[in-house]
Amino acid sequence: MAGAIAYISRDTDGVAWRKQLEAGLGQIDYRTIADGLGNTDEIEVALAWKPKPGLLATFKNMKMIVSLGMGVDHLLADDKLPEGVPITRIMDDGLVGQMSEYAIYWALRHHRDIDKYAASQRAKAWKPEEFVDSIHRRIGVMGLGTIGQDTAKKFAALGFPAAGWSRTAKTIAGIETFHGADGFRKFLARTDILVDVLPLTRDTKGLLNAQAFATLPKGAYFINMARGGHVVDADLLTALDSGHLSGAALDVFNTEPLPADHPYWTHPKVHVTPHIAGATNPRTASSSVIENIKRLRAGQPLINRVDPKTGY
């Protein structure tokens, strides 16, 4: 039999992944941390989410690491990651759709003043608010990979002027694009609702600092469904408290779970969700993993490979 497939995550018991992989690959030697990994020299493929640093390096014959998230910072943070073992990540249309839904939900809730109406309802006040036309509410999506493009296009389809910013130049029909450091300032200055879907890399850590928030127009709203590490929390809180930003919907944090005493929990302008914007679902995510395991075993080039240098 081919080498073992190890499920290295403590988020679930791994049973759903086993079911999907067996459906696509037939009988497999499947192991999980919870049930014991057995002789780890037999592990050929590791399906990993936030593995304990150093663990993957102990699998001597591993031939592929699969990130169980679209983000791979949880793997690249391990400085003992075995060199030369290809890293691939899941590409999951289901997850992409969930992410854009998350951004659209919070953007529309802000755009249509739903929180103000909820407060009016509590006060039994019949109080129509001034409103902004969607053609004047500028959406800016940071990160123009698969998720960012899907999100920006859906906002454009709803009639919002949608722009995107990426490290390198991109052309996307119907989306105004910006890139690089100079482009970042211009992008922020025209953005009323900022949606973050960037990967976390050395270059993007702390990118959303006091200067970035100050560059957004007054009253801008911030949606983070990427990584908490992009944000300097003290600077975001200052921008909210000063009234420069009107609010934020945060799904990801510098420390997860968000500590009980963190000011975000009770901040009147912040909505907190527990890293659920896009959940990996084996039903939709497994096909690209199965395809890659087949390719690996047939000696064919892998798909969805990650470049450890760029971090995505």
Which residue ranges make up the site for ligand OXD (CB under 6 A)? Answer: 69-71, 278, 280
The helix/strand/coil state of 271 is: strand
Q: CA–CA separation, 234 vs 61, rounded Å?
A: 44
Q: Tell the smallest beta-carbon distance from residue 281 to ligand OXD (Å).
A: 11
179 flagged as catalytic: no
Nearest to ligand OXD of 3, 199 (CB atom)? 199
Contact 191, 216 (CB under 8 A): yes
Active site residue 112: no
Catalytic residue selected from 31, 137, 138, 227: 227
Catalytic residue among 275, 283, 297, 305: 275
Residue 198 C-beta: closest distance to ligand OXD, Å: 12
Give the DSSP letter of residue 259: P
Upstream peptide bond of 217 is cis (omega within 30 degrees of 0): no
Compute CA distances 23 → 90, 242, 287, 290, whole Å: 17, 55, 10, 9
Strand partners for 31:
6
User: Whose structure tokens read 């992944």?
Assistant: 17
Nearer to ligand OXD, 156 or 289 (CB): 289
Looking at the Cβ atoms of 280 and 284, the one nearer to ligand OXD is 280
Cis peptide before 257 (omega within 30 of 0): yes
Q: How far is the CB of 88 from ligand OXD (least distance, A)?
A: 13
Phi, psi dihedral angles at 179 (to 5 degrees): -150, 165
Surface-to-core class of residue 122, CB atoms within 10 Å of its CB (0-12 exposed, 13-18 middle, 19+ buried): exposed
Nearer to ligand OXD, 97 or 180 (CB): 97
CB of 231 to ligand OXD, least distance (A): 15
Q: Which is nearer to ligand OXD, 69 or 161 (CB)?
A: 69
Closest approach of ligand OXD to the CB of residue 278, in Å: 5
Active centre residues (catalytic): 227, 275
